[in-house]
Chain A
Amino acid sequence: MSGQLTQRIDDLAAEFAELEPRERLELLLEFSEKLPPLPPEFAEQRDQQLGRVQECQTPVYLWTDLVDGRVRIVADVAPEAPTVKGFVSILVELFSGVSPDEVLTAPGDLVQRFGLVDALGMVRMRGLQAIAHHIRRKVAAQMST
């Protein structure tokens, strides 16, 4: 399948593959710094702990919806957790604007594809994967409503 999301994942995987493990962390840090700030209309929800990803280590807040049949994700992660923030930022960039079907069939091993396992270690990796699963579940729930 050669969808838009597959292409984005392959491109990013190729970008990570060219880097040394240490540089991969730098790229992840760059992603953490370019996660768009939370739109003000979501701040109140976050302050009420709505949108909290319960599976995740650090406070991570995620909202997904469908705009004209395309996935939109809004997220907020504390700056004290740049690894999580960087990975969420990658997911937002990858998944935004693609069809929900593509999100649901996205590969479950993104952390491995981006070559981050050695840099992060297995324990941290599972926490990040939980966020990707969380997005898939939310998108699936929205498709059925």
Chain B
Amino acid sequence: MAKAYANPDVLVSTEWVAEHHQDPSVRIVESDEDVLLYQQGHVPGAVMIDWHTDLQDQVVRDYIDKERFARLCSSKGIANDTTVVFYGDKNNWWACYAFWVFKLYGHAECRIMNGGRKRWEADGREWSREPEPQYPATSYVAAEPDPSLRAFQAEVLKHQNKGKPLVDVRSPGEYTGELLHMPDYPQEGALRGGHIPGAISIPWSRSVNDDGTFKSARDLEKIYVREAGLKRRSPIVAYCRIGERSSHTWFVLHYLLGFPKVKNYDGSWTEWGNTVGVPIEKGPGGTASAEASS
């Protein structure tokens, strides 16, 4: 039974951030669902990277390519050896998403500020309303996207066919197919409801405490290993609706619990539930052992 996170250094506290926000080897990055929050108040010295307008291609449904990723990092004063600390709203959903994109392009030192905006506020720390700071440009060089982090649909189909573990991190109503979208997000729906057959339901929110921080290693292990039956060495694919909640679970499984082979299927339900001919299961499905057939 794990008593500590597999990679405890990947989480930093609000206190650490308050002490290091002027450290030139550190860049604090805010990534939010609500694009105005940064202007409403941000961690002093932090830059903003928007999941939608900065990290996604605005024409093709994909991330920016590695050249644009390098330009983005340079424009935010992030060098290849900068320690980048992400934080944001909604229990760090988008912070985890940005973290995942940075890992996709091979950025070495990434951290999450545990608890995000919620905890910074609760700790009574200072919010800045200064315009986004301009840091000197860097000569950032991005790596090719790391295929070990990202699952595409064809691969997920094979994975599903072989009965390998899939984790559906959406809300229970989305999993069973009663809802075609997250309760409050009708604009991101799909034509069909349900889940990928064989996927187990572990809503992402089970991994966080009320104050926005991650649950302890012991509690996480109880949820993902003892209750859900996930095996540490299995190849696991996590998905949600557009890949942001599943990047949160990817972070939990890979970095906090130390599972070596976890991929985020960012196409997620808005791809699967709109695809002609792929298998879909409705109803409560399996919630216990994901490994029953392997």
Interchain residue pairs with CB less than 8 A apart (21): A26-B39, A54-B184, A55-B184, A55-B186, A56-B184, A57-B184, A80-B89, A82-B39, A83-B34, A83-B36, A84-B34, A86-B36, A120-B53, A121-B56, A121-B58, A123-B52, A123-B187, A123-B242, A124-B52, A127-B187, A130-B187
Contact present for B36 and A126 (CB under 8 Å): no
CB-CB under 8 A from B81, the residues of chain A are none
B 171-206 contacts with A by CB, 8 A:
184-188
Contact present for B53 and A126 (CB under 8 Å): no
> Which interface residue of B39, B56, B117 has the most chain A CB atoms within 10 A?
B39
Besides the contacts A25-B35, A86-B36, what 20 more A-B pairs have beta carbons closer than 8 Å?
Answer: A28-B36, A29-B36, A29-B39, A29-B40, A32-B36, A55-B184, A57-B184, A79-B40, A80-B34, A82-B34, A82-B36, A82-B37, A83-B34, A119-B35, A120-B35, A121-B52, A121-B53, A123-B188, A124-B52, A127-B185
Q: Which 7 A-B pairs have the closest CB atoms?
A: A126-B187, A121-B52, A82-B36, A83-B36, A83-B34, A82-B40, A29-B36
Judge if A15 is at the interface, Cβ distance under 8 Å.
Answer: no
Q: CB-CB contacts of B152-185 with A at 8 A, as 1s and 0s?
A: 0000000000000000000000000000000011
Judge if A81 is at the interface, Cβ distance under 8 Å.
Answer: yes
CB-CB under 8 A from B36, the residues of chain A are 25, 28-29, 32, 82-83, 86
What DSSP secondary structure best describes chain A's contact surface? helix
Q: Closest B-chain residue to A52, C-beta based?
A: B184
CB-CB under 8 A from B58, the residues of chain A are 121
Contacts from B to A (Cβ < 8 Å): 33-37, 39-40, 50, 52-53, 56, 58, 89, 117, 184-188, 242
Complex CA gap A26/B130 in Å reads 12
Q: Closest B-chain residue to A59, C-beta based?
A: B184
CB-CB under 8 A from A121, the residues of chain B are 35, 50, 52-53, 56, 58
Contact present for A58 and B184 (CB under 8 Å): yes
**Given contacts A80-B89, A119-B53, are A124 and B35 in contact (CB under 8 A)?**
yes
A 81-123 contacts with B by CB, 8 A:
81-84, 86, 118-121, 123
CB-CB under 8 A from A29, the residues of chain B are 36, 39-40
> Which interface residue of A118, A119, A124, A130 has the most chain B CB atoms within 10 A?
A124
Complex CA gap A12/B186 in Å reads 28
Q: Closest B-chain residue to A78, C-beta based?
A: B34
Complex CA gap A54/B187 in Å reads 12
> Which interface residue of B36, B50, B185, B187 has the most chain A CB atoms within 10 A?
B36
- Chain A residues bordering chain B, tally (CB within 8 A): 26
CB-CB under 8 A from B52, the residues of chain A are 120-121, 123-124
Complex CA gap A32/B117 in Å reads 19
CB-CB under 8 A from A56, the residues of chain B are 184
Complex CA gap A53/B53 in Å reads 26
Contact present for B35 and A83 (CB under 8 Å): yes
CB-CB under 8 A from A57, the residues of chain B are 33, 184-185
Contact present for A130 and B186 (CB under 8 Å): yes
Complex CA gap A140/B56 in Å reads 38
Complex CA gap A56/B183 in Å reads 9
Q: Closest B-chain residue to A126, C-beta based?
A: B187
Contact present for A118 and B186 (CB under 8 Å): no
Write the nearest CB–CB distance from B42 to chain A, whole angstroms.
Answer: 12
CB-CB under 8 A from A118, the residues of chain B are 53
Complex CA gap A82/B129 in Å reads 14
CB-CB under 8 A from B184, the residues of chain A are 54-58
Write the nearest CB–CB distance from B34 to chain A, whole angstroms.
Answer: 5
Q: CB-CB contacts of A52-74 with B at 8 A, as 1s and 0s?
A: 00111110000000000000000
Write the nearest CB–CB distance from A77 to chain B, whole angstroms.
Answer: 11
Complex CA gap A83/B33 in Å reads 10
Q: Closest A-chain residue to B188, C-beta based?
A: A123
Q: CB-CB contacts of A25-38 with B at 8 A, as 1s and 0s?
A: 11011001000000
CB-CB under 8 A from B34, the residues of chain A are 58, 80-84
Q: Closest B-chain residue to A55, C-beta based?
A: B186
CB-CB under 8 A from A127, the residues of chain B are 185, 187
